[in-house]
Structure 1
Amino acid sequence: MRTTTQGLVLAFLGAVLVRLSWEGAYLHFVTGWMRWPLLVTGVVLVLLAVRPIVGGGEREEHPVPAATWLLLLPALVVFLVSPQPLGAYLAERRADEAPPAAPVASFAPLPDAPGAVPLEVEELLWRALDENATLAGRSVEVEGFVSHGEDGRWFATRMVIGCCAADAAVVRVRVEGADRPARNSWVAVTGTWRDGTGAEPGSEAILDAESVRPIPTPADTYG
C-alpha cells in the first residue's frame, strides 16, 4: 500500500467520523456525550492524512493483504447509507430481557402539577416496581416508538443504551384502550398506570390510555 493511499484511507475514515458527529447520525450508534470525542478524532485523522497525501510520493510500503480493504466497507456503508436506529424489529425479539435496574431504591412523589406528568418509559417501569406506588392515580405521558405483541397488543417502547447500540436494552409499557398504531411510528401516550401492573420483575406495566398522538421521530431515539 502506497503512502499516498494510506493517507487517503485515513482521510476517508476521518471524514466519516466528522460527518456522523456533525450531522447527529452518531446518535444511532452511541450516546450523546460521545459527539465531541468523535468529532475531534475525525479531525485529527484528516490532519494526519495531509502529509502522506501531499508528500507521500510513490514510495512503496510493506505489502498489505487484500482483505485489509474489507475494513473500509463498514465506514463506506455508513458514509453512503445512513443506517436507521434500532426499532421494533429488535425490540419485539428481546422483549423478555430484564430492563436496567433502577438507580435508587425508591422514588420521590411525582410533581404536584396540573395535567399529565412527562415520564421516560424507563422511569415509569422503575416507579411501577416501587412499593411507594408513586404512580397511583396520576396521569402521565410517555413517548416511544410502537412495537407489537400477540393478540393485537402494542407497546410504547424505547431502547436504552449504556455506551453504544451494541448494549441496547428494551424498555416498554403496554398500552390499553387505544387503537394499535403502525410499527415503528412514534407516539406520545397520555394515560394512567394500572395499579399493580409491572410491580413484579418481568411482569408487564400497563398504561390505560386517555389519548395517543403521533410525534416526530426524535433526534436521539435512545433513552
Structure 2
Amino acid sequence: MNRVTQNLLLLLLGGALLKISAFSADFANYVKPGFRPLVIAAGVVLVVLAAAALALDHHRCRSATRQKELLRARAAEETYLAQMLGRDAVVPTRKHEHKHAGGHRVAWMLVAPLAMIFLVAPPALGSFAVRQSEQTSHVPPPTLVEARPTVLKDGRVNVLSMIEFANLAWDDPSGSLRGKTVRLTGFVVPSGRDDAWYLTRMRISCCAADALTMQVMVKGAPAPATDSWVRVTGTWIPRSPRRTGTYTPPEMTVSRIEPMAVPDEPYE
C-alpha cells in the first residue's frame, strides 16, 4: 500500500467518524452518547493528519518532478557537450523504481468497508443479536447503579427504564411494582410462544460489543413486527413463589402499545 492510499484511507476513516458523530446521531448505534465528543475529536484528528500528509506528499511529488526535469536537462546538456568534444556522454541515472500495481489494487479494496458507512450505516443491535447472545434468560440483571424512582405512584403511568423495571421485579422486597401502571420502551423480539413476546432493550457499558440483553415478557396483546420499536403500558405480573433459582425475565400484562421511531439513543 503506497502512502497516498494510506492517507486516503485515513481521510475516509476520519470522515466516517465525523459523519456518524458530528452530522448525525448514528454513533449511538456503536457507543454510549457520552463518547460523542471523543468520537468527533478522533475524526477531526484523522482528517487533519490525512490532509497534512496528502499535502506533504503533493509537495514531494512536485519536487520529484522538478528533479526529473533537471536530470533530463543535464542529460541533454551532457549529450550536446559530448558530441562537440568527440567523447562518450556520461548520462546521470536514476534509481530503479519498483511499482507494485497489484498491491495498490488490493489496498484500494480496503476502502469498501469505510465507504459503506457513508452509504449504509449499520443499525443498532436488534433481534438477531439477541438470538445469538448467550446471555438471554439465564443471568439476572446487574445491580442498578442509577437512582431508582423514590415512589411509584398509583393512578398514573410510571415511566421506567428496562433495567429499573427488571431490578424492581427481581429484587424489591416491598413489592412496589404491584398494581402500578408502568411504561417501558424497547424493540420487539418473538418468544416462540403465541401468547407472549419480548420487549427488549440492550444495555451497554462502553460500546455495542459489551451489550447486555434486558427483556420483559409481554402478555395480553399480539406481537408487533419483529424489531419494531414500541412503548408498552401495562402492569407487572408478580413472580410465582415456586419459581426460584434460574433467572427468568419479568412479565407484564399490556394495556396499550404505541409504535414509535427508533430512538436517537437505542441503548440504555
Q: Is the 8 A contact 1:190 1:210 kept in 2?
A: yes
Deviates more, 1:17-26 or 1:94-103: 94-103
- In structure 2, C-alpha distance between the alignment counterparts of 1:47 and 1:107, rounded to whole Å: 44
Equivalence for 2:163: 122
CA RMSD of superposed structures (Å): 2.8
The alpha carbon displacement at 1:120 in A equals 0.9
Q: 1:147 to 1:180 in 2, by over 3 A?
A: same
Residue 147 in structure 1 maps to residue 148 in structure 2: no
Task: Find the residue that maps to 2:47 and give its secondary structure.
Answer: helix
- In structure 1, C-alpha distance between the alignment counterparts of 2:234 and 2:185, rounded to whole Å: 12
Residue 166 in structure 1 maps to residue 221 in structure 2: no
Largest Rg, 1 or 2: 2
Equivalence for 2:119: 80
- In structure 2, C-alpha distance between the alignment counterparts of 1:163 and 1:69, rounded to whole Å: 31
Equivalence for 1:176: 219
Point out where structure 2 has 5 or more consecutive residues left out of the alignment: 65-96
- In structure 2, C-alpha distance between the alignment counterparts of 1:101 and 1:160, rounded to whole Å: 10
Equivalence for 2:93: none
Point out where structure 1 has 5 or more consecutive residues left out of the alignment: none
TM-score, length of structure 2 as denominator length: 0.73
Could you give the per-residue CA deviations for residues 59-103 of structure 1, whole angstroms, max 9, x where no partner exists? Answer: 799x8x666555544323222211111111222343235254113
Equivalence for 1:5: 5
Task: Find the residue that maps to 1:174 and give its secondary structure.
Answer: strand
Residue 21 in structure 1 maps to residue 53 in structure 2: no
Q: Which amino acid aligns with 2:208?
A: A
Task: Find the residue that maps to 1:151 and give its secondary structure.
Answer: coil
Q: 1:178 to 1:75 in 2, by over 3 A?
A: same
Could you give the per-residue CA deviations for residues 79-137 of structure 1, whole angstroms, max 9, x where no partner exists? Answer: 22111111112223432352541136x95653436411001112111111122212111
Please give the residue correspondences for 1:25-64 in structure 2 after superposition, counting only pairs within 5 Å. 25-57=26-58, 58=61
TM-score, length of structure 1 as denominator length: 0.87
Equivalence for 1:191: 234
Aligned residue pairs total: 222
Q: % of aligned pairs identical?
A: 31
Q: 1:125 to 1:199 in 2, by over 3 A?
A: farther
Q: Would you identify which runs of 4 or more consecutive aligned residues in structure 1 move more than 6 Å?
A: none
